[in-house]
Amino acid sequence: MDELIEQIRLATQALAEFSVHLFNPTIRLGVTGLSHAGKTVFITALVHGLVRGGRFPVFEAMATGRIARAYLAPQPDDAVSRFDYENYIDALAAKRLWPASTRQISELRVVVDYQSLNGYQRTLTLDIVDYPGEWLLDLPLLTKSYEEWASESLRLSRQLPRADLAKHWHQHLATLDPNAPENEQEALTAARLFTEYLKACRAKNYAMSLLPPGRFLMPGELANTPALTFAPLDLSTEGPPPPGSLWAMMRRRYESYRTVVVRPFFRDHFARLDRQIVLVDALAAINAGPDALLDLQHALDQVLDCFQMGRRTLLSALLRPRIDRILLAATKADHLHHTSHDRLETILKRLTQNSTAKAELAGAQVDVIALAAVRATREAMVRRGRQQLPCVLGVPVAGETIAGEIFDGETEAAIFPGDLPEDPDELLDSEKKSFRGLSTTSSKNADFRFLRVRPPVLELTDSGVFSLPHIRLDRALQFLIGDRLE
Ligand code: GDP
């Protein structure tokens, strides 16, 4: 019954939007990716490029001068935060600091006045919706009972390397009797230890990606509410749970989570998107090793499954296909020498080949790209002994360390990022480990992580205008909105 009501609500909502869109073509572009994938930087650079005219040779409408102007306009949804574009661009350009990362949903409207290919003056409205990928990974919970979710989460947490990180939580779990009377303190402790385990998995060295429920990591305004105070229990018997038991309490709260968090997100935001870019910090996963890459692969499978779920709603069948284009983008490509950019793309293609095929079958066009929304490095060949190494030059963020050297945020370093293998399978195979990771030219041993570098120094034109350097951002734009500007 719930599902039917949802479907009717969705249908009414889309019908209203559909008639508005007839007279005012609008694209709702979802920008998602797990925490620190690069969403905030991507949107800031994209909006700046549109509004200020970036150097976008592959973005045809802009390159050929058909865009008369693009400007920000008030957003359509009053209950959603506004993407804080002005502060972010100021941080990037004036302070050379990266903006604050996405922690919740926000949106921004850009209106583009352009000339169509056959010479008419037209307007396209672009609504950009920024939301944490962690929330997206919650969508599969809509089809899982508490018991299914609990046993799946437990199974995953017993596999290495997760099992080591789950020790404290497992110890506490072993003391809990699901059939004993409900107890708030036990629920609080279980939820805290379970969250700590999820956070540990997310920590840099593991970079695990598959971690629902998403709000445990990105609580937004729901921190400390009962809807977030539950955890998996080790259940040996079939349901239903005894009334008043800890099990019943956990199950009730899991249901609340689905009602208060997951369903509204699906209805109010996800189901309304037309196009989607999924940003992926593939380099972080590559650095963390094959386990993290496999995890990322599963997470991306689930993400792409969610898009099919979006298409299966009654309404998309009735009115128009939702999400007809999906771009999967490996971010921060400027950490690599350009000789590796295509390889990074190939790796992401390999990680998503199965799920991409499924999404394409369902009617969405999918493309894969490696990009840097803001290019913060330059390239140079550096001699080490007799070898010439293709390096990137950048200013590591203050406090970053490599081989015992601590950077002050002012000094430039030449970083040898290593070569990505031509065959992506080498990365997934723990035996081969062909990618040695990063090293500075001064260190002998490869360090298995990337250095965060500061945003670039920008060249101002005489009129004080600047454009942000990037890698393939224009190709992304062309795929995401180019056809709607024809
Ligand atoms: P979000 O959590 O997805 O919003 O991620 P952010 O956009 O805040 O990016 C997280 C961090 O990744 C930033 O603080 C930067 O250090 C880094 N980053 C993001 N995009 C780029 C890029 O294009 N180039 C470089 N070099 N670093 C980037």
What pLDDT digit, counting tens, does each position of 429-446 carry? Answer: 755 444 444 444 333 333
Helix (H), strand (E) counts: the chain: 17, 14
- Residue 205: predicted pLDDT: 59
Which range is least confidently modeled, 5-9, 91-95, 415-419, 472-476? 5-9
Of 200, 231, 263, the residue at which a domain comes to its end is: 263
Per-residue pLDDT at 387 exceeds 90? no
Whether 446 maps to a domain, the answer reads no
Whether 452 maps to a domain, the answer reads: no
pLDDT (average), residues 362-372: 91
Q: Are residues 371 and 382 in the same domain?
A: no
Q: State how far the Cα of 389 lies from the Cα of 439, in Å rounded to an integer.
A: 11
* Residues 102 and 35: beta-carbon distance below 8 Å: yes
Whole-number pLDDT of residue 284: 86
- Is 101's C-beta closer than 6 angstroms to any atom of ligand 1? yes
The pLDDT of residue 106 is 95
Nearest-atom number in ligand 1 for the CA of 281 is: 12
Q: How confident is the model at residue 103 (pLDDT cuts 50, 70, 90)?
A: confident
Residues 235 and 285 in one domain: no
| Same domain for 58 and 194 | no
Q: Which residues on adjacent β-strands are paired with residue 82?
A: 107
Mutate to test the pocket of ligand 1, among 36, 392, 415, 457 (most ligand atoms within 8 A of CB): 36
Nearest one of 29, 106, 33 to 274, comparing CA atoms: 29
Return d(Cα 202, Cα 140) in angstroms, integer: 20
Average of pLDDT values for 309-321? Answer: 49
In a domain, 464, yes or no: no
Band of residue 476 on the pLDDT scale cut at 50, 70, 90: very high
Task: Say how many domains are in the chain.
Answer: 3
259 shares a domain with 306: no
Among 236, 263, 290, identify where a domain stops: 263
Report, as an integer, the average pLDDT of 103-121: 94
Distance 337 CA to ligand 1 centre (A): 18
**Confidence band, pLDDT 50/70/90 cuts, at residue 305:** confident
How many residues are present in the chain? 486
If asked whether residues 353 and 479 sit together in one domain, one would say yes
- Read off the tokens for 251: 């199950």
User: Is the pLDDT reported for residue 414 higher than 80?
Assistant: yes
- Max Cα-Cα span within the chain: 74
Closest atom of ligand 1 to CA, residue 37: 3
Contact of 208 with 295, CB cutoff 8 Å: yes
Is residue 461 in a domain?
no
Residue 280 belongs to some domain of the structure: yes
Q: Which atom of ligand 1 is nearest to the CA of 98?
A: 14
Q: Are residue 172 and residue 277 in the same domain, yes or no?
A: no
Among 332, 412, 438, 454, which is best to mutate for testing ligand 1, by the most ligand atoms less than 8 A from CB? 332
Q: Which helix (H) or strand (E) holds 198?
A: helix 184-202
Give CA–CA dist 212/262, Å, rounded: 11
Range of the domain at 411: 378-440
Lowest mean pLDDT among 111-115, 223-227, 248-252: 223-227
For residue 228, give the nearest of 266, 264, 190, 265 by alpha carbon.
190
Query: Rounded to whole angstroms, what are the CA distances from 331 to 206, 265, 281?
Result: 18, 25, 6
Provide the pLDDT for residue 319: 43
Q: Quick check: is 454 in a domain?
A: no
Residue 448 included in any domain: no
Residues 367 and 384 in one domain: no
In a domain, 458, yes or no: no
Atom of ligand 1 nearest to the CA of 373: 23
Q: How confident is the model at residue 298 (pLDDT cuts 50, 70, 90)?
A: confident
What CA–CA distance (Å, rounded) separates 353 from 373? 24
Q: Quick check: pTM over 0.85? A: yes
Residues 6+ apart with CB under 8 A from 132: 32, 34, 35, 102, 103, 104, 105, 214, 218
408-431: average pLDDT: 82
